[in-house]
Amino acid sequence: MGYAVLLYFDDKTEQSILALRHVLTKQGVETSIDKSGKRPHVSLAGFSDVTNSDLLILLVQEYAKNLKSFDVRFDSLDVFPSTESVLFLSPTPTIQLLTYHKEFHQKLSRNKFVSSLYYVPENWMPHCTVKMNIPEEQLAKAAEACGKNFKPIQGQFQEIGVVEYFPVKSLETWSIAAK
């Protein structure tokens, strides 16, 4: 089983991202993310295997107690150059986001958890997936439709959670304290 630690948004931001996904679905760009029930998020860490998921959940719960909700702004849309054809929103990398991410990985390291190399601080590219595994012949169409319908999104991170995958199953979610 794989696991991920995710930052979730306020309702308005989440609805804006879901609306963008819906625009693409109406254009005929339907992918596995549409059926997975995955909430829009930014991943802090991902693990292909965890021997003690209860400890991971406990670590995230403890970490959540020290977090304060914080702003997020999406100003750009991009595609990862990979076989997975991921269309994503790129958040402005604020000091707060980068600091929380680094502190979380330090906590993981102290507890002998090793995240996927994509999520370690030196490699991490924060993003919110709009669609993934887009068929190659639809990628240009999806990017164009997104570009026409995308407006910068200003919101907040308000929750942190742990999911198990595949299939995606939410294990725990905690509210982040208001600023």
pLDDT the model gives residue 126: 98
- Residue range 16-30: mean pLDDT, rounded: 91
pLDDT the model gives residue 161: 98
Task: Return the HEC string of 19-50.
Answer: HHHHHHHHCCCCCHHHHHCCCCEEEEEEECCC
Measure the CA–CA gap between 160 and 67, rounded to whole angstroms. 9
CA distances to 31, 32, 102, 116, 127 from 124, rounded to whole Å, are 24, 23, 10, 10, 9
Q: Give me the chain's average pLDDT, please.
A: 94
pLDDT the model gives residue 38: 83
Collapsing DSSP to helix, strand or coil, 79 comes out as strand
- Location of structure tokens 């702003």: 71
Q: In one letter, which amino acid is 36? A: S
pLDDT the model gives residue 35: 66
pTM: 0.95
Structure tokens at 100: 């929380």
In contact, 74 and 152? CB cutoff 8 Å? yes
- Residue range 47-65: mean pLDDT, rounded: 96
Measure the CA–CA gap between 29 and 31, rounded to whole angstroms. 7
- Residue range 60-64: mean pLDDT, rounded: 97
pLDDT tens digits for range 90-141: 999 999 999 999 999 999 999 999 999 999 999 999 999 999 999 989 999 9
Measure the CA–CA gap between 29 and 68, rounded to whole angstroms. 36
